[in-house]
Structure 1
């Protein structure tokens, strides 16, 4: 409740973008943080800083939007064979539930609607989801940021 109140106050103060996330220190007691900015450049700068967190102290960030994914620390998200993180895949699935979109549009959505993901992560997720048979690439040719993708389940429906 207080996070929503704080985000509303940031919105009223003119910050068009608000992020809320958990910082989980090695003690395990999460700290809830809210960030506000008026520009997508500010969002990107904040997220770039989050990705530079030193996990040797046991710190990590978690987005509060995901429901079924197991959150992981940033610095080890993509180490295992280049696979995308389950939180990222869940978020991309949430966006594609709305309807088909270009990979670029999904990336912009990740920037503005997720706590830590950057536009560049959309392509990684799309590659993994295509490999796993979860999405269909509607555009012919190589998968690019301009490619339109949709959930496999929506194609069958």
Structure 2
């Protein structure tokens, strides 16, 4: 979306879905991190005013609510570092955070909030250093307006703290439309990706450009130091595409983010899509999920793998390379076996069982 000019603006469907996901993930992240660390930090580089036009809370307020609740059950400390470029929005954010803090009670000193005016880079790093947060685990939300706004050195510095995680918003339409025509936009893309390999997008057909940029950015997060990445392709009712890309060093972080994703209410009008699904089917997140995309992904993976895969390997593949959870794999494999799409050796499906694809036309 284009950067709004007003202090407060309407919340779009993508934002509603992102905030629901953020709330769910922080509800899992905070207790886990506080059980192992005396201090943890939540940070934002594009904090905004903390509220939307119809009164919905912004992401800093959502985070404050969750972290306050976690501290009621834990004696440790949380820091929040929030950077906002616009002075009037910063003032509004301070008001909203003060209002939220008023509901927490006398122990609020253990939730230390730093709000600063400045740009995401380099001011966020400066504020994190000032707060003493760079030596502690961090969850850093870099939710700009979808363009190439997050320089690679910022990601690399955050990743030096091995228990830190990031979530970055990326809307590929900007680079697809403008970077091939304007040297300034191309330079911004180089800073975002950390190299110029993404320039290959200019040789891609129109239908493949967004996916090409998505894959290059996952590689960038890996080079920055985030061993595992998870891409959420969010599509609103108008067909607008937004990538929400999560980076972590720990498989447990991926697992908890998946769990958060699959319990988010989709009444916002946004659906997910798995990047690896050959049919690119949009998903409604339901109690009984449509695993048709996962079926196609696993068959494609089995056919291109150099050898048969064990059930445990397929569960790990689903965890790290798809939007699905490992717990969704075994029930699907049983149906695929019954439909004679796969061969299972031995016939009973266990973690060590090996799986081979049978039908070459199963994807169609």
The interval holding the TM-score normalised by the smaller chain is 0.7 to 0.9
Cα separation, 2, equivalents of 1:77 and 1:90: 18
1:36-55 equivalent positions in 2, closer than 5 A: 36-55=247-266
Query: How big is each residue's C-alpha offset from its partner over 1:111-152, in whole Å with a ceiling of 9 and x where there is no partner?
Result: 1111x1111121022111111110011114x32232211112
Cα separation, 2, equivalents of 1:59 and 1:37: 24
* Residue 324 (structure 2) pairs with residue 113 (structure 1): no
> Residue 63 of structure 1: CA displacement?
1.2
For 2:225, which of 1, 9, 14 is the aligned residue? Answer: 14
Counterpart residue number, 2:291: 85
Cα separation, 1, equivalents of 2:225 and 2:333: 33
Aligned length: 147
Counterpart secondary structure, 2:283: coil
1:56-135 equivalent positions in 2, closer than 5 A: 56-68=267-279, 70-75=281-286, 77-78=288-289, 85-97=291-303, 98=305, 99-114=307-322, 116-135=323-342
> Is the CA contact (8 Å cut-off) linking 1:69 and 1:90 kept in structure 2?
no
Measured at CA, do residues 52 and 26 of structure 1 come closer, stay the same or move farther in structure 2, by a change above 3 Å?
A: farther
> Residue 76 of structure 1: CA displacement?
5.8
Counterpart secondary structure, 1:75: coil
Measured at CA, do residues 26 and 153 of structure 1 come closer, stay the same or move farther in structure 2, by a change above 3 Å?
A: closer
Cα separation, 2, equivalents of 1:149 and 1:7: 28
> Residue 77 of structure 1: CA displacement?
4.8
Counterpart residue number, 2:13: none
> Residue 71 of structure 1: CA displacement?
2.9
Structure 2 unaligned segments of length 5 or more: list them.
1-211
Structure 1 unaligned segments of length 5 or more: list them.
79-83
Report the TM-score, using the length of structure 1 for normalisation: 0.82
Cα separation, 2, equivalents of 1:25 and 1:104: 34
> Is the CA contact (8 Å cut-off) linking 2:228 and 2:320 kept in structure 1?
yes
Cα separation, 1, equivalents of 2:267 and 2:281: 20
Measured at CA, do residues 133 and 10 of structure 1 come closer, stay the same or move farther in structure 2, by a change above 3 Å?
A: same
Report the TM-score, using the length of structure 2 for normalisation: 0.38
* Residue 354 (structure 2) pairs with residue 143 (structure 1): no
> Is the CA contact (8 Å cut-off) linking 1:139 and 1:149 kept in structure 2?
no
Q: What is the Cα-based RMSD across aligned positions, in Å?
A: 2.1
Query: How big is each residue's C-alpha offset from its partner over 1:82-138, in whole Å with a ceiling of 9 and x where there is no partner?
Result: xx6210101111221113112111000111111x11111210221111111100111
* Residue 242 (structure 2) pairs with residue 31 (structure 1): yes
